[in-house]
Chains A and B, each alone.
Chain A
Amino acid sequence: MDEQQKLQEFQDRIDAGEKIEPKDWMPERFRKQLVRMMSQHAHSEIIGMLPEGNWITRAPSLRRKLALLAKVQDEAGHGLYLYSGAETLGVSRDEMIDDLLSGKAKYSNIFNYPTQTWADIGVIGWLVDGAAIVNQTMLAKSSFGPYARANLRICKEESFHRKQGHEIIATMMKGTPAQRKMVQDAVNRWWWPTLMMFGPPDDNSPNSNELIRWKVKTKTNDELRQSFIDRTVEEAHDMGIEIPDPDLRYNEETKHWEIGEINFDELYRVVTGNGPMNKKRMAARRKAHEEGRWVREAAEAYAEKQKLKEKKAS
């Protein structure tokens, strides 16, 4: 069968709603795109632990501390589900981690912003995890089996993440004027970066068409962004939070909230490594990896020793 025919059969399977599994024939480009998406997604979960981990020791109560610890631990789990998915395509975990640590691989931009106050932790759960849910709910139906399954697992855990964040800020909004101000300030800083999480607008999104044709994604960046906006604006108003967008208005005809223009130059600036926290995040990750090295080496040495013992005994 020639390449063209194989390609057609592949597309037919996808159009028929079949899932592609790792050992199935797939175009090289599909494999590459999936490895890129899954490893970037995994790295984002891992780096995503840093801004929130920053507040674990300073959580204002035991209840909040337990929730935050559990959430950050879940994010580690999400990273592992996704690395596991990417490995089914033949890329090794060590390679992926090397690429992250060397700065070759990307991760979500949103984690290059600092967490300045406790309200940031609430806002991250509510906005950032809220946006992640919109994206991951779509990806749970992805045409690549391992990616779909990893996202399904992730989605089951995300609603707790979003809700604990929502609870933090809803509580603060019922508190003192200083607490309300703290929430508003956090929303002002996080709103636009969160909207940029969905990626460039549809008319400037190089990968989008291909991924939609292959049903890796089923919605465009702008569609996902819009569903996030519609849901979140109502919740913000309900809590008495203002959305920092003077152009925000409700369109009675389309029944959608319309936003002002997104400053994508900012996105490119942060993506290319000039965000406020890029260097710190990478330094923290490298340090953690190096400081864990002796544990990995000890585990390896122990396993070798046990094997030798078994050999001698038999």
Chain B
Amino acid sequence: MGENGINRKGGEGRMWEVFTQKKTGDPHEHAGNVHAHDAEMALQHARDVYSRRNEAVSIWVVPSDQITASSPDDAGPFFDPAEDKIFRHPQFYKVPHVSKKRR
């Protein structure tokens, strides 16, 4: 029996979310999921499924049930605090305009 409760013997294993980095310097992006019984196997599956053509230089896998996500139902109130803080943007500020001199 696996940890997410739905696995049976000889089943597909635990679900892992896969994040891939296209090239060094880029952020890791969500690619999809794979099923595997342990982390090592999940990494190998992730490589075979999501990087058959060098789409990744680095892969993260994490058990799907270990991710906590914000809920879309309260997306409004949850992200509200940022809404009225226009002073966090450069457009909020006025500074004297200085024209560049050519040397």
Instruction: Give CA–CA (A297, B8) in the complex, Å.
Output: 10
- Chain B interface, DSSP helix/strand/loop, else mixed: loop
Q: A94-B12, A296-B12 are in contact. Are A81 and B32 (CB under 8 A)?
A: yes
Chain A interface residue count, Cβ-Cβ cutoff 8 angstroms: 29
Tell me if A303 and B11 are in contact (CB < 8 A): no
User: In the complex, which of the residues B2, B53, B69 contacts A300, with contact meaning CB atoms closer than 8 Å?
Assistant: B2
- A77 CB contacts on chain B under 8 angstroms: 48-49, 52
- Assess whether B6 is interfacial by the CB under 8 Å rule: yes
Q: What 1/0 flags go to B50-86 for Cβ under 8 Å of A?
A: 0011000000000000000101110000000000000
| Interface set of B (CB-CB < 8 Å, partner A) | 2, 6-13, 15, 32-38, 41, 48-49, 52-53, 69, 71-73
Tell me if B34 and A80 are in contact (CB < 8 A): yes
Q: A84-B33, A300-B2, A303-B38 are in contact. Are A23 and B9 (CB under 8 A)?
A: no
Tell me if B12 and A24 are in contact (CB < 8 A): no
Instruction: Give CA–CA (A293, B13) in the complex, Å.
Output: 12
Q: Name 15 extra pairs, CB < 8 A, besides A300-B37, A302-B38.
A: A23-B71, A77-B48, A77-B49, A77-B52, A81-B49, A84-B33, A84-B34, A93-B15, A94-B11, A157-B53, A296-B11, A297-B9, A299-B13, A300-B7, A300-B11
- A296 CB contacts on chain B under 8 angstroms: 10-13, 37
- B53 CB contacts on chain A under 8 angstroms: 157
Tell me if B32 and A293 are in contact (CB < 8 A): no
- Assess whether A148 is interfacial by the CB under 8 Å rule: no
